[in-house]
Amino acid sequence: MARVLIVDDSALSRRLLRAIVEVDGHEVFEATDGLSALEQYYLQRPAVVFLDLIMAGMKGIEVLAKLRELDPQARVIVATADIQKSSVALAQEAGAAAYVTKPFDRDTVLATLREQLAEVAHPKESE
Amino acid sequence: MTILSDKDRDAIVELLNIAFGRAAASLSELTGKRVILEVPQVTLCSIDQVGEVFSGLTADEVVTVQQIFTGPVAGDALLMLDVPGARHLCSLLTDSGVLPPHIGESEREVLTEVGNILLNACLGTFGNMLDISISFSVPWLRMEAVRGLLESLVIDNQELRYALVVSTDFSLKDGAVGGFLVLVLGVASLERLLAAVEAMK
């Protein structure tokens, strides 16, 4: 079981994502904006963060940069409705570990999460 | 004023067919229902006529999720639903499955996120196909008559003169939810759009 932080300003998306993540028995924390995401990350030290990009206030990409500044090992899976290849590239440049799009596909989300948790447990030598 | 040739119109309709198709697929995934999509309608008109175009699309009060997009092609993207359809859509997306008596705070929140997903699916496909990067504002929801929407349209931050209104109407197979996806672009964006379409050929 791992600690997973979900950052999204939409209650619907948090609820849908939580339901998927809890299938694997993980402990889920939620944040509704960038500032509370940083606070929750500091307090909970989650193994993986799911992060929305389009949010009021601090944008997701800024939150990603701040999280990586706070913890260079932070594992952030961008979880967004933005399906553009240019946004995927931007997120990768900012240090995102993976990118999943809405509406969430249960199998894709779980596979991505398991892959990231496996890398947390057995980091690649290059990291 | 830019005049759309038949060839340009055909290219734009095909591009939007694909983009709206991705949005319809997203709606289908969210609701678990088959979505029926009509062929997109493309209208180039002066900004004064946009209201008439919209009034022809829907009547009375509508629930609209609006998102401003910026980049090489910029404008307003709108998801428009009639109120009964919006209520039914909410019932499909809540655990209880109960039809809400009205559009309250939680229904607004659900519909805003649905709009976010559909509009991003549409515009993201658009951006990917044209190989351009589009940025999105946070979506917001409003409930009012169609004409009231015009005051909030932002097109290229320039004097509004002409707009390309592209729309498609969709419905779920059981017919309980129908609505429109609308993009409003200014002339400068239209010219960039046509250039990008030309480069894609």
pLDDT in tens, B112-158: 999 999 999 988 888 888 888 999 899 999 988 776 776 666 554 55
- Beta-strand ranges (E) seen in B58-139 are 61-70, 75-82, 135-136
- Residues A20 and A110: beta-carbon distance below 8 Å: yes
CB-CB: which of A11, A86, A103 is closest to B117? A103
CB–CB contact B120 A56 (8 Å): no
Rounded CA separation A42/A67 (Å): 9
What order of strands is seen across the sheet that includes strand A27-31?
Answer: A27-31, A3-7, A48-51, A76-80, A98-101
Handedness of CA A90, A95, A98, A104 (dihedral sign): negative
Is A123 a domain residue?
Answer: no
Chain A hits for B119, Cβ within 8 Å: 81
Rounded CA separation B123/B55 (Å): 23
Whether the bond between A123 and the residue before it is cis, its omega within 30 degrees of 0, is no
B70 interfaces chain A, CB cutoff of 8 Å: no
CB-CB: which of B109, B117, B139 is closest to A11? B109
Among A55, A84, A87, most B C-beta atoms within 10 A, so best to mutate, is: A84
Is A28 a domain residue?
Answer: yes
B24 interfaces chain A, CB cutoff of 8 Å: no
Question: pLDDT class for B179, splitting at 50, 70, 90?
Answer: confident
Is A125 a domain residue?
Answer: no
Is A124 a domain residue?
Answer: no
CA neighbours closer than 13 Å in the CB half-sphere of residue A119 = 17
Chain B hits for A87, Cβ within 8 Å: 124, 133
Structure confidence at residue A92 (pLDDT):
96
**CATH number of the domain where residue A80 is located:** 3.40.50.2300
Chain B hits for A12, Cβ within 8 Å: 93, 109-110, 113-114
Among A83, A99, A106, most B C-beta atoms within 10 A, so best to mutate, is: A83
Chain B hits for A14, Cβ within 8 Å: none
Please give the angle made by the CA atoms of B34, B39 and B41, to the nearest 5 degrees.
135
pTM value is: 0.82
Coil/strand/helix, residue B200: helix
Is A127 a domain residue?
Answer: no
A59 interfaces chain B, CB cutoff of 8 Å: no
Rounded CA separation B138/B112 (Å): 10
Indicate whether A127 pLDDT > 70.
no
Please tell me what DSSP assigns to residue A106: H
Rounded CA separation A87/A85 (Å): 5
Handedness of CA A75, B132, B155, B53 (dihedral sign): negative
- Most confident range (mean pLDDT) of A41-50, A84-93, B54-63, B128-137 is A41-50
B148 vs chain A: nearest CA distance in angstroms? 24
Q: How many helices (H) and strands (E) does chain A have?
A: 5, 5
| Residues of the domain holding A48 | 3-116
Is A33 a domain residue?
Answer: yes
Indicate whether B159 pLDDT > 60.
no
Q: Structure tokens of A36?
A: 């509370």
In A87-116, the residues whose Cβ lies within 8 Å of chain B are 87, 102-103, 105
B129 interfaces chain A, CB cutoff of 8 Å: no
CB–CB contact B110 A13 (8 Å): no
Question: pLDDT class for A6, splitting at 50, 70, 90?
Answer: very high
Rounded CA separation B161/B56 (Å): 20
CB–CB contact B29 A81 (8 Å): no
Is A112 a domain residue?
Answer: yes
Rounded CA separation B92/B182 (Å): 23
- Residues B4 and B44: beta-carbon distance below 8 Å: yes
Looking at chain A, the whole-number percentage of residues with pLDDT higher than 70 is 97
Chain A hits for B116, Cβ within 8 Å: 10, 54, 81, 102
Q: Tell me, what's the ipTM?
A: 0.73
Find where tokens 């995102």 sit: A96
b/e string for A76-107 if b means 16 or more Cβ within 10 A? bbbbbbbbbebbbebbeebebbbbbbbbbeee
Is A24 a domain residue?
Answer: yes
- Residues B72 and B132: beta-carbon distance below 8 Å: yes
A65 or B60, greater pLDDT: A65
B25 interfaces chain A, CB cutoff of 8 Å: no
Span of A68-82, B6-20, B112-126 with lowest mean pLDDT: B6-20
CB–CB contact A83 B120 (8 Å): yes
- Residues B184 and B163: beta-carbon distance below 8 Å: yes
Q: How many domains does chain A have?
A: 1
Give the mean pLDDT of A9-38. Answer: 94
Chain A hits for B139, Cβ within 8 Å: 54
Per-residue model confidence as pLDDT tens digits over B69-107? 998 888 888 888 888 889 988 988 887 778 888 899 999
Rounded CA separation A96/B47 (Å): 41
